[in-house]
Amino acid sequence: MVDQLEHVVQCSYRYTVHFTTDALAPTHRLLRDVVAATNQSRSRLLFVVDRGVAQHHPGLARQIEAYVTAHADALELACPPLLLPGGEEVKNSQEHVATLREVIADADVSQQSYVVAVGGGAVLDVAGFAAATAQRGLRLVRMPTTTLAQADAGVAVTAGINACGRKDFVGAFCPPVAVINDASLLTTLEARDWRGGLAEAIKIALGRDAAFFDFIESNAHRLVARDLGVMTQTIRRSVELHLGAAEARGPEALFGHWAAFKLEALTDFRLRHGEAVAIGVALDTTYSYLAGLLDENSWRRVLATLKTVGFTLYTAALRTNLGEPEHPRSLLRGLAEFHQRRGGPLAIMLLRGIGDVVETPAVGVGLVQRSIAVLETAASEPQVA
C-alpha cells in the first residue's frame, strides 16, 4: 500500500523594464517608487557596482549616497556601494559571489532588502546569483550599463557563472523586481560595448520581426555614429522581443548561440558575448543559406548589416580542432554541449527567411565545416559576395 500527498506549487512573476535617463539624480523618483511599492517601511539597499562603470562615472558612488539621502524617508544604504570587476572574468569562479554573500551577511541584508546591481551583464549575473542564493532569495533591481545588458542580459530571469569550462553552467532562477535602463549610462561606452547589444538585437529580429531587422539595417550608419536616440529605440524593441521569446520559450531567442557559447570559451573569453553572438548568427545564417533554406539576398543582407555595425564575422577559433568533433576544444563539441544545456533531441535554429526561424534536428557536421569556410571568405571581403 502506498500513501501519498500531492502538492502543486505555482509561481507567477511580474516585473517592469523602465526606460529613462539620469535615474540616480536626486530628483528622480523611479528607483524610490519601485522599492516603496513593495515595502511599507524604509528599504535597505545594497548597491553592487561594476568597477569599470565607476571609473567612467567617477562620482557614481557619491551620487548613489546622495540619492539615498535625498529619499531617506523610504531608503537607506546597507553599506557603502560594493565595487566588483567587470567583464567575463568576474564570472569565472565563485570568488566574487562568495564575497558578495559575506557582505550580505555582515550588512544584515534581509529578504525584505534589495540588491541593486549596476553594471554590465557579467556583474549583473554575479549579483543576481548571489541575491538568488543568499537568505534563500533577496529582491533584485538591475540597472544595466551596456547596450548588451540593456537589450538582453538585464531583462533575463536567470543568472549564472561559468564553471566546468562552460558558460553559465552554475546558476539560479532570479527574476528582478524591476529593470531600470538608463540611457545616460551608455554615453561613455567604448566601441566594443556600444555595438555589443546590436548582435542580440539583430539575432532576435531575424527570429521574430523582419521589420525590426529592416530598421537596424537602414539605421546601421547612425548606430555606428552613436546616435543615442536610435540606439534607445533599438534596445527597447530588442527588450520587447526578448521578453516575448522568453515567455513563449521560443527557439528564436537561441538562434546563433550554440557557436557563440563555445567561441567564448575557446577564446578564453577574449571574445565578448555580443561579438561571439555576431559570429554565431553569421555562421547559422550561412548554414541556412547553404542548406537551401535561406535565399542568397537575405544571406547577403544579414552579413552586410553585421559588418556595417562593426562586427568581425570570423575568428581562427572557428577552425580549432575542427576535424575532431569530440575534441573538448572543437567548435563542433559546442553542439553536444548546447544539446546538454537544452535537453531533448540535438537541434539548432536556422533561418527560412528574415523574421522566420525554424528548429531543425538534422545538423550536418560537413555543412558546418563548409559554412565556416564560406564565412571566412565572406568576412574578408568589403562586401558580401
Dump pLDDT digits (tens) for 336-355.
777 676 666 666 789 999 99
Please report, to the nearest 10 degrees, the dihedral formed by the alpha carbons of residues 53, 258, 316, 324 taken in order: 140
Q: Which CATH number does 191-380 carry?
A: 1.20.1090.10
Dump pLDDT digits (tens) for 9-23.
888 888 999 999 999
| Confidence category of residue 228, pLDDT binned at 50, 70, 90 | very high
Is the pLDDT higher at 157 or at 206? 206
Choice among 26-30, 217-221, 244-248 with the minimum mean pLDDT = 244-248
User: Which residue has cell 567583464?
Assistant: 87
Cα→Cα distances 204→111, 241, 244, 251, Å: 35, 7, 10, 10
Burial class (CB in 10 A: 0-12, 13-18, 19+), 15: middle
Provide the pLDDT for residue 40: 67
* Rounded Cα distance, 206 and 213, in Å: 6
The yes-or-no verdict on residue 244 having pLDDT over 80 is no
Q: For position 384, what pLDDT does the model report?
A: 46
pLDDT at residue 376 is higher than 70: yes
What is the structure's pLDDT at 345?
62
Angle at 253 between CA 249 and CA 255, to 5 degrees: 130
pLDDT reported for residue 31: 95
- pLDDT average, residue stretch 206-232: 97
What is the predicted pLDDT for the residue at 382?
74
In percent, how much of the chain has pLDDT > 70?
94
Q: Decide if pLDDT at 248 tops 70.
A: no
Query: What pLDDT does 274 receive?
Result: 94
Could you tell me the CA-to-CA distances from 59 to 119, 184, 203, 220 in Å, in that order?
Answer: 15, 14, 35, 33
pTM of the full structure: 0.90
Contact 278, 306 (CB under 8 A): yes
CB-based contacts of 56, cutoff 8 Å, min separation 6: 188
pLDDT for residue 245: 65
The per-residue pLDDT of the chain, averaged, comes to 90
Q: How far apart are CA 20 and CA 150, in angstroms?
A: 12
Look up residue 172 and give its three cell numbers.
Answer: 539560479
Q: What is the pLDDT of residue 363?
A: 76
Average pLDDT over residues 14-36: 94
* Residue of 131, 137, 103, 116 lying closest to 53 (CA atoms): 116
Residue 181 pLDDT more than 50? yes
Q: Is residue 252's pLDDT more than 70?
A: no
Compute the half-sphere exposure of residue 379: CA atoms within 13 Å on the CB side of its CA: 21
DSSP string, 39-105: -SSPEEEEEEEEHHHHHHSTTHHHHHHHHHHHTTTTEEESSSPEEE--SGGGGSSSHHHHHHHHHHH
Q: Do 16-186 and 191-380 share a fold? A: no
Q: Which of 164-168, 170-174, 217-221, 257-261 is predicted least confidently?
A: 164-168
Task: Give the range with max mean pLDDT: 39-53, 297-311, 335-349.
Answer: 297-311
Say if residue 117's pLDDT is above 90: yes
As a whole number of angstroms, the distance between CA 233 and CA 216 comes to 10
Percent over 90 (pLDDT), the chain: 64
| Contact of 70 with 23, CB cutoff 8 Å | no
Mean pLDDT across 347-364: 86
Distance CA 209, CA 366 (A): 30
CA distance 216 to 42: 43
Rounded distance, CA 201 to CA 270, Å? Answer: 21
Does domain 16-186 bear CATH number 1.10.10.10?
no
In sequence order, the β-bridge partners of residue 115 are 46, 140
| Confidence (pLDDT) at 146 | 96
d(CA 27, CA 17): 20
* 379 has pLDDT over 70: yes
As a whole number of angstroms, the distance between CA 343 and CA 307 comes to 33
Domain ranges, ordered by start, for the chain: 16-186, 191-380
The pLDDT value given to residue 385 = 40
- Any idea which of 7-21, 74-88, 327-341 has the lowest mean pLDDT? 327-341
Nearest C-alpha neighbor of 173 from the set 136, 201, 143? 136
The pLDDT of residue 217 is: 98
Is pLDDT above 90 for 321? no
Q: Bigger pLDDT: 165 or 279?
A: 279
User: CA 54 to CA 74: how far, in whole Å?
Assistant: 25
